[in-house]
Amino acid sequence: MAEKAVSLLGRLRRQWRPGSDGEGLACRHLEARGYAILDRNFRCRSGEVDVVARVGDATVFVEVKERSGESHGAGHEAVTFGKRRRIVRAARIYAASRGLEETPLRFDVISIDWSAGEPRVRHYEDAFSDSD
């Protein structure tokens, strides 16, 4: 019986990932504004980038933060110095591995607040630089 419970729990964890609904909403938000989604959940040893998109000639690395209330602050406030540093490192690896070193890189944050029941999406363009 315990083996079945562990097996079911393992399958549920693989199918559902915290943030996946928010990332999907963020991608739809970006696409509605003319962005092309290049990649999602890019991971490397240095960090992770939630969404990689393209708008104009810029490659945009997007950190998505969700909140169900403001008790822990707004989502964009959770992107600390250490988190920005990991995103920048991962973005540089992504760009180098795809020959994008010469294209402009930009870092955006999308904050999704669910406290009113309906999502409120805030998009902070150029939220930080690669020198942060």
DSSP-H helix ranges across the chain: 2-15, 20-32, 81-97
- Residue 132 has a pLDDT of 65
Q: Give the percent of the chain with pLDDT over 90.
A: 58
Does 10 fall in a domain?
Answer: no
pLDDT band at 117 (very low <50, low <70, confident <90, very high): confident
56-80 pLDDT tens trace: 999 999 999 987 766 556 666 778 8
Does 4 fall in a domain?
Answer: no
Does 113 fall in a domain?
Answer: yes
How far, in Å, CA of 28 to CA of 104, rounded?
Answer: 23
Does 70 fall in a domain?
Answer: yes
5-40 pLDDT tens trace: 555 555 444 444 444 588 999 999 999 999 999 999
CATH number (domain holding residue 45):
3.40.1350.10
Does 77 fall in a domain?
Answer: yes
Question: What range does the domain containing 108 cover?
Answer: 18-128
Does 100 fall in a domain?
Answer: yes
pTM for this model (two decimals): 0.80
- Residue 18 has a pLDDT of 47
Give the number of domains in the chain: 1
Does 44 fall in a domain?
Answer: yes
How far, in Å, CA of 53 to CA of 40, rounded?
Answer: 9
